[in-house]
Amino acid sequence: MRMFRPSTRLGPRAAVVAVLLAVLIKAPAVRPASPEDPPAAAKRSFGPLEKSLLFPGWGQLSEKRHLEGAAFIVAELACLYGALAADHLGNENYALYRSAASMDEATRARALVEKYDTRRNGFLLAAAAVWALNLIDIFLIVKGKETDKPGLSLRIGRGTHQDIGITAAFRY
């Protein structure tokens, strides 16, 4: 007995409709602004710390520190290039190891695989170190630009339902 199974393949029109439906479902609903929403100017922008978090040197460039930014970018790209090059050489030697005809060839190729894998890992570690130094540098730049002095501040204000509240903040 043969059972009927519906096809799970979508035609081109059905695929377009499915994508549009998925976009409409995932789209955020538009709602009017409420008085509790902060004004657009009060929202935090994508700052130099976030930029440097994504790619080393970008935050320094946005802070007009071109030499530092270029140095971090070049160092990160050099480390990543070194890692990719060593990985490529390791893969080539691994292919030679797998196809070796004699034990001597296999031993030589395997030693080269380990050498290039160690080199690749060193480059990746150096790239992580450049990224970490970049974040420390941009944090010190951003921290140095802040004009707020350390201290304790108290504020008394009214809440949304006419409640009175006390806010305490400590900056360090």
For residues 140, 146, 148, 153, the Cα torsion angle rounded to the nearest 10 degrees is -80
Kindly state whether residue 73 falls inside one of the protein's structural domains.
yes
Kindly state whether residue 117 falls inside one of the protein's structural domains.
yes
- Specify whether the CB–CB gap between 158 and 164 falls below 8 A: yes
| pLDDT per position as a tens digit, 48-97 | 888 888 888 888 888 888 899 999 999 999 999 999 999 999 999 999 99
DSSP string, 154-166: EEEEE-TTS-EEE
31: helix, strand or coil: coil
Kindly state whether residue 18 falls inside one of the protein's structural domains.
no
Kindly state whether residue 14 falls inside one of the protein's structural domains.
no
User: Six-digit token pair at 171?
Assistant: 């900056």
Domain region containing 104: 45-147
Number of domains in the chain: 1
Kindly state whether residue 9 falls inside one of the protein's structural domains.
no
Residue with tokens 């009927």: 4
Kindly state whether residue 3 falls inside one of the protein's structural domains.
no
Kindly state whether residue 123 falls inside one of the protein's structural domains.
yes
Residues of the chain with pLDDT under 50: 4-8, 27, 29-31, 41-42
